[in-house]
Structure 1
Amino acid sequence: MSVLIVTGGSRGIGAAICELAASRGYDVVVNFSGDPAPAEEVAARVEALGRQSLAVRADVSDEDDVRALFNAAATLGPVEALVNNAAITGNTPGRLDEYEVGVVRRTLDVNVTGVFLCCREAVRRMSTRYGGGGGAIVNISSTAARTGSAGEWVHYAASKAAVDTLTHGLAQEVADEGVRVNAVAPGMIHTGLHEAAGMPDRLEKYARQIPMRRAGQPGEIAEAVLWLLSPAASFTTGAVLDVGGGR
């Protein structure tokens, strides 16, 4: 069966993707960078669904860590699917002119360089140009790439716009090499991000601006990701699928 790597797979959207993927027959590598306990719990839930799983610590912005992540994944079998979910906002919300440059650099390093490094390693393993059997990549973007996230995380929004552009360009480069590259752009989703940023009421505040009048659930993002990974999306590449309730 296919081996899937999910970066930032220990919680929230990443964890939902890992579990849904296992239920669809994938062996899953749960990447994390901090506390191993949540990742190990997700891996255990994957195994409870009858699939193989590994929890692998790696900083996606570190080239050596990314290579080690893919090498570990290869012990389960050929890597045929990648979800680039790992991302950070940097710190508590604020205006652009209030941010320290180090925070912005670290955010871009994880959110953009990290996606680049993981995509590069995936292509080198999946592409028929390198003797691979093909595969699919899904990058997790954000509707913030369109809205700009003014007054909160403009630098984060900019990083996700870069992910969209990377998705479009890479999809064209490898389209005839058996590799599809797409993105999912979540809107406001029920995860721990909002409380961690000191805004436990953020989703309630923004719900009024969402045409569906509610925030989404991690499982709703996972469903979109698994569709893009699946043969049902065999003629879809270079797409950025908004899953934001109409906002």
Structure 2
Amino acid sequence: MTGPRKRVLVTGGTRGIGAAVATRLARDGHDLVLGWARDDAAAELTRAAVEDAGAACTLVQADLLAEDGVERLFAAAGPLTGVVNNAGATFHTGTLAETPPDVVRRTVELNLTGAILVARAAVRALSTAYDGRGGVLVNVSSAAATRGSPGEYVHYAAAKAGVDALTLGLAEEVAEQGVRVVGVAPGIIRTSIHADAGEPGRVERVAPTVPMRRAGEPEEVADAVAWLMGEEASYVTGTTLRVAGGR
């Protein structure tokens, strides 16, 4: 007799790395709840891909920058066995001195404050101390957190460094509550995050500086997330796995 199916919430789950994670986890037997803020067409395409892989898929539109966005997302998600804390954006490419203050605030609000609030809600949903079944929280950080990304997006790098600290501290805090907290730190990955920040050609510009001389694909990050979510990583917590081609 098999137990209940695993059910994972992925924030920012309908495009880029989030969509790749969703379809990979679906193939591994997880049902999915996908949080998203915009792009109806992408949401429907990802839902179809998840369902084609044999998993149930629930779409929940929620803006994590809204005051009640995280609360509404988790209320709609229902019981969970895992959370992938993925939603993020750079919003801008350039030096810090040339980055508008409102962009700095929005970047930190989404990539750090939003990530912390999602992690808080994830603990309350997963932890045995809150009547959860236990589970895994995967925080999506960035290789920028340790490189600083001068001239590119120092503001984003600083926020993601905070995510790494979140992973480390929270893992120890909830280790006895049935929750593993781990992270992945992608490098330059071929997604729309670059075009969204105003530089669609950024992958081609930066890829030659990577030791492997290429950009990564979203599916390569998704493979790392899937491993961290699985039983093979059952003794892994409080650490962030770098998926950055050697950078």
Contact 1:61 1:117 (C-alpha < 8 Å) held by counterparts: no
The gaps in structure 1 that reach 5 residues or longer are: none
AA matched with 1:129 = A
CA displacement 1:114-173 (0-9 Å, x = unmatched): 111111111112111112110100011000011111111110000100000011010010
Runs of 4+ in 1 over 4 A off after TM superposition: none
AA matched with 1:85 = N
Identity of aligned residues (%): 52
Match status 1:96 vs 2:96: yes
Aligned partner of residue 209 in structure 2, secondary structure: coil
Aligned partner of residue 208 in structure 1, secondary structure: helix
TM-score in terms of structure 2 length: 0.95
Pair 1:63–1:177, CA change in 2 (3 A): farther
CA displacement 1:56-113 (0-9 Å, x = unmatched): 1112233522122112111xxx20100011011122x111111221111111111111
Q: What CA distance in whole angstroms lies between the structure 1 residues aligned with 2:53 and 2:118? A: 26
Give 1:64's match in structure 2, choosing from 52, 64, 68: 68
Contact 2:89 2:193 (C-alpha < 8 Å) held by counterparts: no
Aligned to 1:51: 55
RMSD: 1.2
AA matched with 1:60 = L
Q: What CA distance in whole angstroms lies between the structure 2 residues aligned with 1:196 and 1:176? A: 40
Equivalent positions of 1:21-32 (< 5 A) are 21-32=25-36
Contact 2:80 2:126 (C-alpha < 8 Å) held by counterparts: yes
Aligned to 1:7: 11
The gaps in structure 2 that reach 5 residues or longer are: none
Pair 1:98–1:143, CA change in 2 (3 A): same
Q: How many residues align?
A: 243
Contact 2:169 2:238 (C-alpha < 8 Å) held by counterparts: yes
Structure 1 residues 135-144 or 50-59, which shifts more?
A: 50-59
Contact 2:174 2:180 (C-alpha < 8 Å) held by counterparts: yes
Contact 1:29 1:56 (C-alpha < 8 Å) held by counterparts: yes
TM-score in terms of structure 1 length: 0.95
Contact 2:96 2:155 (C-alpha < 8 Å) held by counterparts: yes
Deviation at 1:197? 3.0
AA matched with 1:41 = L
Aligned to 1:115: 115
